[in-house]
Structure 1
């Protein structure tokens, strides 16, 4: 796909020169789809994302099929991705999930924690501290095997049951995940209520508690149209890892107020205008999202995809 009308590049002072996009479309993006997506289609999706220049593509989840039936084919999918020159992280909820992932040669895994008691109960049927205790042996074993571990932390800014989440409460769980051995944290705005000042406050508080910015990624949902503004605030603070989903796919099956993730195309458009390198071919990426939207039977919610493809 030929991309016309790319933004003029006007760098802004104090921003990183390169960003690593942690692409979540194949896992977080598809997990809540009601229409079953075939394994071969998922594999082609990941291959197309890699061909578009994405270097970290979260492939699937080893959650029990009862909870996320869309990703029940993890064992069948990963072999179809062997040989791709990209990182393919997978989500593991517990030691059984870790065993399944390691058996298939996974080298990057992620655990999914909550900053709030309500969401920990809804998502994991545990308290926050009980869930951290469950993750501890997972992280310990993964690290012993030389596996990179990412810690997702949901509800970092707001919770549908509890409202605004106090910054110190989030910092406590972040610190626990780092102390546990997580290499990287992804700060999740699961219901999309964050605003730039809140983002800066949390990042500042984490730095004051010894959590290095280099270990942080951000994961914004666009429920209230704030995802790009929040991302820019994080970049101004020095964050260089941003989660995004091709075509804006995804939500959270356990938080009904959560709408789509930040669209990767929208992110790349902004970063390109700022002169920030991503290594992503926007034309190929847009074509991939149009292709997947066709298979899902609806247009992409990404504004950039719609603008560049004239998709209605």
Structure 2
């Protein structure tokens, strides 16, 4: 088990995509900078989707450019297709993720593509990236969305998830990520799925997981993933986020709670908690009245608490 865990902050993308009120670009930049100053070393700053679909993401290219000026920060972005990937490369993203819903019903709602069409998109992105000099290629992750269940289809067969993981790697992804889009996962399921994906495509091809806390199991699932060898855990400050096309699946893991748990257990995250709370205040100020979640921000750190 690794003693160092990368907390990948997805608030500026997944956290904001479900919020109707548009957060201003200067406020987003201030928030991203504060997260960076707190010690976050990977931040998903937005998604390259049409602005009429998600107006909140209209400034993603500008945010990528800004985040690129922060030394040592891995700048990530979501892309739904080849056009989005080309825009992400032009903007300078270090990492791009494409959401591939294991539930075809969810795929049709989320990106309006069948599985076959999405495979073709991934293959096109993979071929496009191969035309770039190696130093200019962003890391490509195929995010296996609804891997633990779908609000529309219900149970998603695990063998189907394994097959899709292999297909994504063969199509050109550098790695795959498991995503509990709907907040259905439990720790036993997380352990089992990780072992199966590692057996199918290799442990080096699955290092991260994206979890929601919809049913209160987010941190338990994160710990199960770490026990199985994963070293990157997605989280969103204030627990913001949720998929617009997965009804009721609100609430990413709260960054503040995840960092506390990891540091209290002796893992190193490199994150300064006081600085993280300053970033939370900037977020709160930029979105007055928007509910922010988290148990540790509510209760405070234990007396004499020291990070690892």
TM over 0.5: yes
Q: Would you say the 8 A contact 2:64–2:92 is kept in 1?
A: no
Structure 1 residues 70 and 307, CA gap change in structure 2 (3 angstroms): same
Q: Note the 1:166-245 alignment, pairs <5 A.
A: 166-212=157-203, 215-245=206-236
Report the counterpart of residue 252 of structure 1 in structure 2: 243
Stretch moving more, 274-283 or 211-220: 211-220
Q: Counterpart of 2:3 in 1: which secondary structure?
A: coil
Look up the SS of the partner of 2:177 in the other structure.
strand
Residue in structure 2 matched with residue 155 of structure 1 by the alignment = 146
CA distance in 2 between counterparts of 1:120 and 1:39 reads 29
With structure 2 as the length reference, what TM-score do the two structures score? 0.91
Alignment of 1:37-116 (within 5 A): 37-85=23-71, 86-116=73-103
String of CA shifts for 1:95-124, please: whole Å, max 9, x gaps. Answer: 221222222222321211111111111112
Instruction: Report the CA distance between 1:125 and its aligned residue.
Output: 1.4
Offset of 1:181 from its aligned partner? Answer: 2.2
Q: Distance in 2 between matches of 1:306 and 1:143?
A: 48
CA positional deviation for 1:206:
1.2
Give distance in 2, aligned partners of 1:71 and 1:180. 27
Q: TM-score, normalised by structure 1?
A: 0.90
Q: Distance in 1 between matches of 2:94 and 2:224?
A: 31
**1:256-295 correspondence runs (5 A):** 256-295=247-286
Answer whether contact 2:207 2:229 (CA < 8 A) is retained: no
Residue 303 (str. 1) matches residue 295 (str. 2): yes
Deviations 1:26-61 (A, max 9, x none): 111111111111111111111111000000011111
Return the alpha-carbon distance in structure 1 between the equivalents of residues 300 and 19 of structure 2: 24
Q: What is the distance in 2 between the residues matched to 1:214 and 1:53?
A: 25
Unaligned runs of 5+ in 2: 302-308
Asked if the contact 1:143/1:149 (under 8 Å) is kept, the reply is no
The Cα shift of 1:297 comes to 1.6
For 2:63 and 2:198, locate their aligned partners in 1 and report how far apart those are by CA, in whole Å.
38
> Does structure 2 retain, via aligned residues, the 8 Å contact 1:152–1:185?
yes
Query: Once structures 1 and 2 are overlaid, which stretch shifts more, 217-226 or 58-67?
Result: 58-67
The total of aligned residue pairs comes to 295
The question of whether the paired residues in 2 share the 8 Å contact of 1:156 and 1:187 is answered with: yes
Task: Tell me what 1:5 maps to.
Answer: none
Identify unmatched segments of 5+ residues in structure 1.
1-14
Superposed CA offset, 1:130-175 (max 9, x none) = 2111121112212442221122111010100111211111111111
Question: What corresponds to 1:11 in structure 2?
Answer: none
Distance 1:63 1:296 in 2: 22
Is the 2:96–2:140 contact (alpha carbons within 8 Å) kept by the matching residues of 1? yes
